[in-house]
Amino acid sequence: MLGIKEIQEIIPHRHPFLLIDCIEELTPGEGATGYKSVTYNEPWFAGHFPQEPVMPGVLIVEALAQVGAVAILSEEENKGKVAYFGAINNAKFKNKVVPGDKLKLECHIIKRKGPVGIGSAKATVDGKLAVSAELTFMIG
């Protein structure tokens, strides 16, 4: 298992934009599974939405991308590099993510060609799908 310190050694994200708390499973270059414990103190809940706090879908997609970045940047030849978004395709938002949820984030690399690749990603809460997407990344 990777904690915050180990994650920060792999990807450049920092508070408040580091959106993963731990990585439970990691196969460098192939995929990873991580978690985000969603708390009421998250900065976005003050405005999204105060009467019914919901984690913004774009931030869930970003959290998925960060898990994918940990997987791809854990490869020896990619250490010290950055993974950038190239595209977000087929994103589907199925269920709300609210304070108290433990968000399971999975990203598996399904295609690579040079510095570009595609990850199949899904976020679940208690086994229920919240978000799925296909994420294209570029390593730079």
- Hey, which residues are catalytic here? 48
* Rounded Cα distance, 15 and 126, in Å: 26
From residue 45, alpha-carbon distances to 4, 19, 105, 138 in Å are: 22, 14, 20, 31
Whether 95 and 87 have beta carbons less than 8 Å apart is answered as: no
Whether 104 and 37 have beta carbons less than 8 Å apart is answered as: no
For the chain, the C-alpha Rg in angstroms (whole number) is 14
